[in-house]
Amino acid sequence: MISSSPSRPSVFPTASIASLHARETALYQQLHPRSAALAAQCGHWFTGSPLHWMQDWPLPFPLAIASAQGARLTDVDGRPYADFCLGDTAAMFGHSPPALGEALARQAAQGLSAMLPAAATAEVGALLAERFGLAQWQIATTASDANRFLLRWARAATGREVLLVFDGCYHGAVDDTQVALIDGQTQPGAGLIGQVNKVTRTTRVVEFNDLDALAAALAPGDVAAVLCEPALTNCGMVLPDAGFHDALRALTRQYGTLLLIDETHTLSTGPRGYTGAYGLEPDGMVIGKAIAGGVPCAVYGVTSELAGRMHAAWRAAGPGRTGIGTTLSGSLLQITALHATLGSLMGDEHYAVMLNRTLHYAERLGMVLERHDLPFGLSLLGARSELQFTDRPPRTAREAAAAFDAPLEALLQLYLLNRGVVLTPFHNMALMCPATPLDHIEALVDGIDACLTELHETR
Ligand SMILES: Cc1ncc(COP(=O)(O)O)c(C=O)c1O
């Protein structure tokens, strides 16, 4: 998800980017005849894909995938790719790593969903509590759902209606969070179609890293929860200022507001997420996507203290449907995936490789950017990194948006794809998994270098 703000003029002439883009479009069409044919047969899918986001990649038609294994994708034309998108984080520990693939295959032969616990359910709860330091957990089927459910609990537990988020945030398909800060006011997010509730009545938004605005927004004492990523990862990457999280925690405590951390993307930081790496003390946490290796599943956890308040609010509400939970949540399949991920894939040794690969990429790319003398930089969050078209790390979503260069970004992604490298669409995120080999990083760096060289030659 990207901010809708217009990007600034490119450092390269528009005509150069456009002409290279036209050449690469033709090359993409030539290299992918089977993907083209399959795309042409997708007329029964609204927008041409089962999820309209698949049309949002900067490609003439979507790349159809034949298989995904480790850090590698193979398309239906038989072309291999070094995958740095990794399902936009869902495959952060690699595509179908054996420990997960084999456990899922075994479970698939023994039932997928029973709406009852499995033998490993108790152990998975204990593994979550031990790793992330929160006492009580629940399962949802997507991170969007987990955020929505945790917000419902937070409002019930505090008896407050208002939610606070940071500008540029993305927490999934959670309408309450789809707001933007425009001219200092909270406004509905652009594109929030079909939403008839006035989300701006109950959601307040402030800039990330703006502690004065945060304090002012919390001061009325009506905010149930702050929901935030520890670093923004969906509007470009925006890292917290030193001291930001300490102040956020102090202010939320001062005003009786719950602090809910969405670790869905920032799990890249280390084995216990950003929260564990930096000693944050949230009241609640959400982790989706990679936590079950890409099986539709997310978890949310809370402190014992918040769990007690949730129970009290539930008792007070009396009998009836909570509106929280879905049929397939906590399924046999999800428990199997969580068990394999927590038990086998998220070890320190795996993170050591992932973090090491990112540092290697940063070093190699840094040399290329220096040689090209471009004001570009790389922001890092553990195994996750983002090439941004600015050498001043953005402190807010607005600064991140100002650094966007949409035509250059689209060209770069198409150019790389034609050379067997997949970067994340909507932003230049490269994620390293334990299976990422060094030659994938070489291919990525060489591809960026070649694209910039061609652009320089046309300047
Ligand atoms: C931080 C964050 N939270 C939640 C979500 C929602 O995840 P899902 O689409 O799997 O529900 C996303 C999706 O990108 C995300 O980036």
pLDDT in tens, 186-199: 999 988 999 989 99
Q: For 135, list phi and psi in degrees, rounded to 5.
A: -80, -30
Q: What is the pLDDT of residue 5?
A: 46
Sheet holding 429-431, edge to edge: 377-381, 384-388, 429-431
**pLDDT at residue 7, rounded to an integer:** 55
Q: Quote the ligand 1 centre to 90 CA distance (angstroms).
A: 10
Which pair of tokens denotes residue 75?
């398309």
pLDDT higher than threshold 50 for residue 103: yes
Q: Could you tell me the residue ranges of all domains in the chain?
A: 14-96+380-442, 98-345
For 276-289, write each residue's pLDDT tens digit: 999 999 999 999 99
Q: Report the pLDDT value the prediction gives residue 354, as an integer from 0 to 100.
A: 98
Nearest CA to ligand 1 atom 9: 172
pLDDT in tens, 401-452: 999 999 999 999 999 999 999 999 988 999 999 999 999 999 999 999 999 9
Determine the distance separating the centroid of ligand 1 and the alpha carbon of 72, expressed in angstroms. Answer: 23
Model pLDDT, residue 2: 38
- The b-or-e profile of 184-213 (16+ CB within 10 A means b, else e) is eebebbeeeeeeeeebeebbbbbbbbbbeb
- What is the position in ligand 1's atom list of the atom closest to the CA of 265? 1
Tell me: pLDDT of 133 over 70. yes
Q: Residue 4 has what pLDDT?
A: 41
Please name the residues in contact with 341: beta carbons below 8 A apart, sequence gap of 6 or more: 93, 100, 290, 291, 292, 293
Q: Strands 162-166, 421-422: parallel, antiparallel or unpaired by DSSP? A: unpaired
Note the pLDDT of residue 361. 98
Q: Whose CA is nearest to atom 5 of ligand 1?
A: 172
Point out the ligand 1 atom lying closest to the alpha carbon of residue 169: 1
Q: Evaluate if residue 33 carries a pLDDT over 70.
A: yes
For the CA of 145, the closest atom of ligand 1 is 11
Ligand 1, atom 6: nearest CA belongs to which residue?
Answer: 172
Per DSSP, what are the bridge partners of residue 163?
Answer: 203, 225
CA of 286 to the centre of ligand 1 (A): 10
Say what the pLDDT of residue 151 is: 98
pLDDT in tens, 223-272: 999 999 999 999 999 999 999 999 999 999 999 999 999 999 999 999 99
Q: Which of 264, 291, 295 to mutate to test the pocket of ligand 1 (most atoms within 8 A of CB)?
A: 264
Distance from C-alpha of 287 to C-alpha of 33, rounded to nearest angstrom: 38
pLDDT in tens, 306-365: 999 999 999 999 999 999 999 999 999 999 999 999 999 999 999 999 999 999 999 999
> What one-letter code names the amino acid at 120?
A
CA of 147 to the centre of ligand 1 (A): 9
**Mean pLDDT across the chain:** 96
Q: How close is the Cα of 287 to the center of ligand 1, in Å? A: 9
- Closest ligand 1 atom, CA of 298? 10
**What mean pLDDT comes out for the span 54-60?**
95
Q: Looking at ligand 1, which atom is closest to the CA of residue 172? A: 6
Give the other-Cβ count within 10 Å of 80's Cβ. 11
Atom 2, ligand 1: which residue's CA is nearest? Answer: 171
Indicate the residue type of 324.
I
8 Å CB contact between 141 and 297 = yes
Expressed in angstroms and rounded, the spacing between residue 89 Cα and the centre of ligand 1 is 9
Which residues, at least 6 apart from 400, have a Cβ–Cβ distance to it below 8 Å?
3, 168, 232, 235, 236, 237, 238, 388, 394
Pair type for strands 429-431 and 384-388: antiparallel
Give the type of residue at 156.
A
For ligand 1, atom 15: residue with the closest CA: 171
pTM: 0.96
Atom number of ligand 1 nearest to Cα 234: 16
User: CB under 6 Å to ligand 1: residues?
Assistant: 142-144, 147, 170-172, 229, 234, 262, 264-265, 288-289
pLDDT on residue 426: 85
Among candidate residues 414, 354, 395, 366, the one with its CA nearest the CA of residue 241: 395
Q: From the CA of 1, how far away is ligand 1's center (Å)?
A: 10
Ligand 1 centroid vs 104 CA: distance in angstroms?
23
Alpha-carbon distance of 437 to 245, in angstroms, equals 34
With a cut of 90, say whether residue 75 has pLDDT above it. Answer: yes
- The C-alpha angle 207, 209, 212, rounded to 5 degrees, equals 75
Q: Which of 139, 151, 171 to mutate to test the pocket of ligand 1 (most atoms within 8 A of CB)?
A: 171
* Closest C-alpha to ligand 1, atom 3: 171
- Please, which pLDDT band fits residue 6 given cuts at 50, 70 and 90? very low
Q: What is the average per-residue pLDDT within 371-383? A: 95
144 CA distance to ligand 1 middle (Å): 6
The type of residue at 192 is: L
- What are the φ/ψ torsions at residue 136 (nearest 5 degrees)? -130, 135
User: What's the 139 CA to ligand 1 centre distance in angstroms?
Assistant: 15
CA-nearest of 402, 400, 408, 427 to 6 is: 402
Pick among 3.40.50.2000, 3.90.1150.10, 3.30.450.20, 3.40.50.300: CATH of 14-96+380-442: 3.90.1150.10
Q: Compute how many other C-beta atoms are within 10 angstroms of the C-beta atom of residue 298.
A: 27
Work out which ligand 1 atom sits closest to the CA atom of 289: 10
Spell out the CATH class of 98-345.
Answer: alpha beta
Cα 421 to Cα 335: distance, rounded to the nearest angstrom: 33
Q: Are 446 and 368 in contact (CB under 8 A)?
A: no
